């Protein structure tokens, strides 16, 4: 018990010292550029797309989540939830470095920083926020679970597969209705759309049938035609092609996480 408390104390000390670790991070390409901690997944693409759209100079630092890079102290100091994406902006508020984790918070920050894809007018901003949070709480996590139970679970659990497939169907139904009378989720193209692209672009591959959702498909065609979206989706990491999710070592890293 005492040892666990001591361990937790140590961990809290480490997290509090985050700004120091950020400053001692590997030297950035340019003092004014952004370091993006990244792995090529739908959550990572949100940020490559946004950085390409703005555009902002950035250096991509791979976080090999199949090998446990997300648990390295240097990364945890930036992203305490051991998830990528995360960024360090060396030209943050008052010209000082700032680190940010959680893709939604990163998108909002970059939107405020550049004044792009995130309107300042309160009504329009609320529209964007609602659909951004909708993505963060619905489309992303449910697609992740649907994909997990369908493709990665060691046993086929019909209840879990059906539960998350139904959720995905419900979610794309909500998105379709929203897009019936507007081009983009919040009217104009925004960070809310950017948050959804990676997941929606993989929907069919993940086994979700979009044939009943004509407006989602029309929206998807429109966003995928944007040059910055194409560039964002094609930021590759060579090692990611070699990850085998059947490898017990990889599965132990990704699918057996408990409090550390």
Ligand X SMILES: N[C@@H](CCC(=O)N[C@@H](CS)C(=O)NCC(=O)O)C(=O)O
Report the interface residues with ligand X, using CB under 6 A: 41, 43, 65, 70, 82-85, 102-103, 254
State the nearest-atom distance from the C-beta of 181 to ligand X, in Å.
28
Contacts with 202 (C-beta within 8 Å, 6 or more apart), sequence order: 42, 143
CA–CA distance, 96 with 226 (Å, rounded to integer): 32
Least distance (Å) between residue 57 CB and ligand X: 22
**Residue closer to ligand X (CB basis): 83 or 163:** 83
Identify which of residues 98 and 183 has a Cβ nearer to ligand X in the complex: 98
Question: Minimum distance from CB of 101 to ligand X (Å)?
Answer: 7
Of residues 83 and 150, the one with the C-beta less far from ligand X? 83
Q: In the beta sheet, which residues pair with residue 36?
A: 60, 87
Least distance (Å) between residue 233 CB and ligand X = 14
Kindly state the smallest distance separating residue 115's Cβ from ligand X, in Å.
Answer: 23
Nearer to ligand X, 164 or 213 (CB): 164
Cis peptide before 85 (omega within 30 of 0): yes
Q: Are 120 and 139 contacting, i.e. CB atoms less than 8 angstroms apart?
A: no
Instruction: Answer for the pair 116, 54: CB distance below 8 angstroms, yes or no.
Output: yes
Q: Return the number of the residue (141 or 187) whose C-beta is nearest ligand X.
A: 141
CB distance 117 to 123 below 8 Å: no
Least Cα distance to 61 among 240, 252, 244, 237 occurs for 237
């Amino acid at each position: 018990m005492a040892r666990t408390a001591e361990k937790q104390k140590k961990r809290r000390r480490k997290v509090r010292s985050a700004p120091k670790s950020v400053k001692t991070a590997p030297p950035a390409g340019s003092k004014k550029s952004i370091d993006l901690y990244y792995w090529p997944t739908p959550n990572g693409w949100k940020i490559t797309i946004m950085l390409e759209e703005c555009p902002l100079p950035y250096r991509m630092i791979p976080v090999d989540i199949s090998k446990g890079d997300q648990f390295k102290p240097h990364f945890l100091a930036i992203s305490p939830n051991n998830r990528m994406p995360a960024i360090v902006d060396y030209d943050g508020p008052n010209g000082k470095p700032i680190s940010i984790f959680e893709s939604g918070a990163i998108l909002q920050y970059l939107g405020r920083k550049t004044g792009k894809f995130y309107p300042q007018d309160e009504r329009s901003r609320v529209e964007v926020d609602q659909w951004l949070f909708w993505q963060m709480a619905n489309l992303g996590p449910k697609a992740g679970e649907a994909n997990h139970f369908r493709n990665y679970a060691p046993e086929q659990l019909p209840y879990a597969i059906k539960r998350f497939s139904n959720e995905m169907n419900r979610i794309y139904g909500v998105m379709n209705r929203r897009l019936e009378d507007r081009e983009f989720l919040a009217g104009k193209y925004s960070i809310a759309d950017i948050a959804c692209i990676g997941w929606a672009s993989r929907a069919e591959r993940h086994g979700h049938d979009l044939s009943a959702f004509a407006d989602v498909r029309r929206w998807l065609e429109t966003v995928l035609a944007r040059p910055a979206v194409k560039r964002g989706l094609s930021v590759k990491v060579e090692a990611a092609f070699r990850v085998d999710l059947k490898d017990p070592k990889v599965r132990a890293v990704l699918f057996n996480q408990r409090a550390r």
